[in-house]
Amino acid sequence: MRVIKVKSRIRDYEVVFGRFDLFLNEIGKGGKDSVFYVIDEKVWGLYKNSRFKRLDACQVKLVKADEFKKTLKTVMDLYDALIERSAKKNIVLVSVGGGIIQDVSGFLASTMYRGIKWIYAPTTLLAQADSCIGGKTSLNYKSYKNLVGTFYPPHRVIVDSSFIDTQENLDFYSGVGEIVKLHLMWKEKYLNAILKFLPEAARRNKKAILKAICNSLLVKKAYIEDDEFDQGKRNLLNYGHCFGHALEKVSSFKIPHGQAVVAGMMLANIVSRARGLLSCRLEDRLFRELLLPVLFVKPKRYLLKPQDIIAAMKKDKKRVGRKLPLIIMKEGINPDKINDLEEKEARLALRELSGRI
């Protein structure tokens, strides 16, 4: 069994690759009162008669994976469910689902009794390859994405990559977007690996997907172990996210996170090229060979309207001061942060991208 160990100042934890049903058998031995499950409603529907068969309905609370449900209200409903079951501090929370379920249940685990034991089984490619480590829990607040949150890593992560078999293409390619980003974070070393992965991803080749998940987690591990609380180097993982978060929001979350990140990387590269920090050749190569092939939904022109995107970027919680921050990619595949993106540069990049996709 493959295991990736992650060091954290809160607690060290392990990502264990294995079969989810075997894990359920093991944890079920503790008795029904000791475990509480928060499961993605759709995932429950898909697997209730197979891998979830042994679960008792009274131990399970279903949550819809919807950005508009990633709120304090949903967490409060879960507090109530735990109180109703007279759950004590030693209850184990097991959550099963993608990044939305992770964010909601991670927040729940970190705040209920100031922290309960939490095991997370990610069921989307994005969550398996990226979000399951790093310890961030986030909730949306009013019109602000991920405004409220805590740092609280799971005690254990169980990755059963066969969950991905049932993912819809749009969500699958959202995960591919984050995988591409993480491979680029490892500089030129992983560029060829990720280019080779693209046709395998299109075929949904299981072995190649598992390898891409492991590589992505190892890259992220290197960043988060160095800067767990996002004070410096970890910021670079936000490549593609500055424009990406704005696009997600302007589309009312119809463009999923990882897909918005792909468009965000394209835009960041255009800015970098315009500043003379990335050659035309490399920008064009990244665009044609890597990013365009994984852009499953091409954002409609009206979604790239500069005034809307820039207004949304101005609301981003990571902004300090008047100008906009942006993670860019420099020549040689070197990520870097600029803090002085001008609105005019953002406008030009958005106009150029509209004409190219």
Ligand X SMILES: NC(=O)c1ccc[n+]([C@@H]2O[C@H](COP(=O)([O-])OP(=O)(O)OC[C@H]3O[C@@H](n4cnc5c(N)ncnc54)[C@H](O)[C@@H]3O)[C@@H](O)[C@H]2O)c1
The residues that touch ligand X, with contacts defined as CB under 6 A, are: 40, 42-43, 46, 65, 67, 70, 97-103, 123-124, 126-127, 130-131, 134, 136, 138, 146, 163, 166-167, 171, 174, 256-257
- Nearest residue to ligand X, by Cβ distance, number only: 99
Query: Which helix (H) or strand (E) element contains residue 326?
Result: strand 324-330
Nearer to ligand X by Cβ, of 46 and 208: the residue is 46
Nearer to ligand X by Cβ, of 136 and 273: the residue is 136
C-alpha to C-alpha distance for 57 and 125, rounded to whole angstroms: 27
CB 51 within 8 Å of CB 44: no
Nearest distance from C-beta of residue 24 to ligand X, angstroms: 15
The backbone torsions φ and ψ at residue 8, rounded to the nearest 5 degrees and listed phi first, read -145, 150
Report the length, in residues, of the chain: 357
Nearest distance from C-beta of residue 167 to ligand X, angstroms: 5
Structure letter (DSSP) for residue 299: P
Nearer to ligand X by Cβ, of 6 and 278: the residue is 6
Residues 6 or more apart whose CB falls under 8 angstroms from that of 194 comprise 179, 180, 183, 184, 212, 290
Nearest distance from C-beta of residue 258 to ligand X, angstroms: 6
Nearer to ligand X by Cβ, of 74 and 138: the residue is 138
C-alpha to C-alpha distance for 72 and 290, rounded to whole angstroms: 37
Nearest distance from C-beta of residue 328 to ligand X, angstroms: 20
Nearest distance from C-beta of residue 107 to ligand X, angstroms: 10
SS3 content of the chain, % helix, strand, coil (to 5): 55, 20, 25
Nearer to ligand X by Cβ, of 47 and 287: the residue is 47
CA distances from 190 to 133, 267, 302, 338, 352 (A): 20, 21, 34, 24, 28
Nearer to ligand X by Cβ, of 156 and 257: the residue is 257
Nearest distance from C-beta of residue 145 to ligand X, angstroms: 7
